[in-house]
Structure 1
Amino acid sequence: MARATGKSEVVYERLKGDIESLRLRPGAKLSEVQLSEELGASRTPVREAIRRLAGEGLVDFVPGEVARVAPISLGGARALFEFRMLLEPRAAASVATAGAADERVLVPFRGLLERLEEFDESFRALDAAEQARSYQKFYDMSEGFDQALIAACRNPYLARTIRDLRSQTARLRNLSHSGPRRMLTSLEEHRAMLKAVTQGDAPAAEAACRHHLAQTLRALIDSLTGQDFAIGADVQLDAAH
């Protein structure tokens, strides 16, 4: 799909950011007229941005009807994470293997591990209110790990597929890291992944990544069932999950 430019790109980035951050809630209406007024743009770039977001699965759009932010469903979240568990642990293992042969691959991961250790020490010393204001720093490091993994993955098809899922996973991340307890456990999970990668331990990197994704899915399910989201009809939890 061709990349939009100019005003359409600005509108796209704004709407995408609002959807991923949950400022625009699942199920929210996306009126072209209202968005045009709010964003200071004509309806054409707004329409182009909505269609582009629909192509990424972030918006439900039927021509002639009002578009809506795509709902978040338990079934959809599970399916996404099952797919991620097939891809990302394999990528982590391949990067660890590549790093064992070429230490230059490990440079960004060592830097992230150092930043993570510094953040951990300072985060634990903060009160609850200060911790809440620090969440974005951790999100940035988490995103940094994901992007470093994509960049270092030697299989271009695997890297591209993981990258293409980022739009879907971004807003789920903002749900799953819903409090300081999950923040700290996620921090430990990222530490384990980073240590395994920087040590060139492919089996440990694969296992740590799979464990992190499984725990993130559990936190996400807990968050979805405890908040007022448009989560669709498939909300019954299977005991096996």
Structure 2
Amino acid sequence: MARATGKSEAVYERLKQDIESLRLRPGAKLSEIQLGEELGASRTPVREAIRSLAREGLVDFVPGEVARVAAISLGGVHSLFEFRMLLEPEAASQVAALGQARESVREPFVRLLTRLDGFERSFRARDEAQQAQSFQDFYALTEIFDQELIAACRNAYLARTIRDLRSQTVRLRHLSHSGPQRMLISLDEHRAMVEAIVNGDGPAASAACRHHLAQTLQALIDSLTGQYAEFGAEVHLDALG
């Protein structure tokens, strides 16, 4: 039984990575038999992994069909970011205020600020081909920011809700950073958030976070609209309501 649980976790992590990185595209069928053959697993751990991903909103079950990677809709993206704008600016404000009293809260953001500056210098010194290979390094830095924000947030319910949305936001990240220019803009937005937290300025941290989310939402709308032909019917250009 323990081995099955471990295998299910391994299958889950692999499928989640493939969905978040868009290696498994929106609408892709998830056949238990085919996935089991590809991953060297029986149907039971594959089924358990798919059910876990469905609970996170990354997989849809269509009656009479196999499971599919969840489609992306502009309306859904808009709703997700409306919700994030209610949560994450408040978390940033709380962490900035807490950092004024606790150096242990502030210190990880001081280190991150140094790393963001170093990344930008390195990125600008690279040629276009090298820059294209640097996106994962930037994603790693933004992941550090997100995880530090969650860890330092004093409201456990707020932190848990933000963490639970991570699977959805990570998948969309690869669409919002559609090129070097947007990535550099996002870097500046992250720097503004980190600087506000380091300075203990709650209102500035909240405003910088809200600005970043608004800009990311617009980048996603532009990217999804531009890539509609590539994604086909699994990107729904529905009304933003």
Q: Is the 8 A contact 1:27 1:230 kept in 2?
A: no
Please show how residues 35-184 of structure 1 align to structure 2 within 5 Å.
Answer: 35-62=35-62, 65-184=65-184
Partner amino acid for 1:52? S
1:235 maps to which residue? 237
The CA RMSD measured in Å over matched residues stands at 1.6
What is the alpha-carbon distance in structure 2 between the residues aligned to residue 192 and residue 103 of structure 1? 19
What is the alpha-carbon distance in structure 2 between the residues aligned to residue 115 and residue 45 of structure 1? 39
Partner amino acid for 2:237? V
Partner amino acid for 2:134? S
Unaligned runs of 5+ in 1: none
Mark the CA change 1:97 to 1:105 in structure 2 (over 3 Å): closer, same or farther: same
Shift of 1:229: 2.0
Unaligned runs of 5+ in 2: none
Shift of 1:62: 4.3
2:200 maps to which residue? 200
Partner amino acid for 2:15? L
Q: Is the 8 A contact 2:29 2:69 kept in 1?
A: yes
TM-score (norm 2): 0.94
Q: Is the 8 A contact 2:59 2:68 kept in 1?
A: yes
What is the alpha-carbon distance in structure 1 between the residues aligned to residue 42 and residue 102 of structure 2? 51
Partner amino acid for 1:186? S
2:7 maps to which residue? 7
Shift of 1:107: 1.0
What is the alpha-carbon distance in structure 1 between the residues aligned to residue 234 and residue 9 of structure 2? 30
What is the alpha-carbon distance in structure 2 between the residues aligned to residue 11 and residue 189 of structure 1? 35
2:225 maps to which residue? 225
TM-score (norm 1): 0.94
Give CA-to-partner distance per residue, 1:3-37, whole Å, 9 cap, x none. Answer: x8310000000000000000000000011111011
Mark the CA change 1:174 to 1:231 in structure 2 (over 3 Å): closer, same or farther: farther
2:25 maps to which residue? 25
Q: Is the 8 A contact 1:26 1:230 kept in 2?
A: no
Which structure has greater helix proportion? Answer: 2
Shift of 1:102: 1.4
Secondary structure, counterpart of 1:229 in structure 2? helix
Partner amino acid for 2:88? E
Mark the CA change 1:212 to 1:161 in structure 2 (over 3 Å): closer, same or farther: same
What is the alpha-carbon distance in structure 1 between the residues aligned to residue 211 and residue 233 of structure 2? 25
Secondary structure, counterpart of 1:209 in structure 2? helix
Q: Is the 8 A contact 2:177 2:219 kept in 1?
A: yes
2:186 maps to which residue? 186
What is the alpha-carbon distance in structure 1 between the residues aligned to residue 110 and residue 233 of structure 2? 38
Q: Is the 8 A contact 1:192 1:208 kept in 2?
A: yes
Shift of 1:234: 4.8
What is the alpha-carbon distance in structure 1 between the residues aligned to residue 12 and residue 212 of structure 2? 30
Shift of 1:230: 4.8
What is the alpha-carbon distance in structure 2 between the residues aligned to residue 94 and residue 230 of structure 1? 41
Mark the CA change 1:209 to 1:231 in structure 2 (over 3 Å): closer, same or farther: farther
Q: Give the total of aligned pairs.
A: 236
